[in-house]
Amino acid sequence: MTISEVRKEMYDKMSKIPSWIDTKSIIDHQIWEAMSEINDMLLVLLNDRLLREKSIEKLIEKVDSVIEYMLAFTDGEKQVLIYVYYTTLIQHMIWRFQDEEQFEVCRNLKLFFDSYFQNYSQNND
């Protein structure tokens, strides 16, 4: 498969509302809107050119600002579910693009994942 085809597959996967989002809840609706915004940002990583670390750092800052907004109205249980959603999603993306031998995409995803969670753990120590 081409990068475009796998990218579309990932977009379709990210467009599905997780089962733990209550579509009738105003708060959950806000959570899903914020998650959709983050998902759109993550699509930037899914291309065949290696992104510079500076570009990935800027993306992390944007994602962080949306997450900070979301955390203001999200309880602890939803925060854990969001964390699991993104760690699982990004790991799946890495696996999927490795399977298709799209190593530039894997490198972008891995650099984002490692940098983001390194920053996260430093800020929560």
Token pair recorded at residue 15: 């467009």
pLDDT in tens, 4-35: 888 899 999 999 999 999 989 999 999 999 99
The dihedrals phi and psi of 48, each to the nearest 5 degrees, come to: -90, 10
The confidence score (pLDDT) of residue 120 equals 57
Percent of the chain with pLDDT over 70: 94
Q: How confident is the model at residue 116 (pLDDT cuts 50, 70, 90)?
A: confident
Cα atoms in the Cβ-side hemisphere of radius 13 Å centred on 63: 25
Give the pLDDT score at 121: 54
User: What is the phi-psi region of residue 21: left when phi exceeds 0, alpha when psi lies from -120 to 50, beta otherwise?
Assistant: beta
C-beta of residue 60 within 8 angstroms of C-beta of residue 119? yes
Structure-model confidence comparison of residues 98 and 122, the more confident one = 98
Question: Mind listing the pLDDT tens digit for each residue in 69-86?
Answer: 998 999 989 999 998 999
Q: What percent of the chain has pLDDT over 90?
A: 58
Q: Is residue 34 within 8 Å of residue 66, measured between CB atoms?
A: yes
Res 125: pLDDT: 52
Residue with token string 């760690």: 87
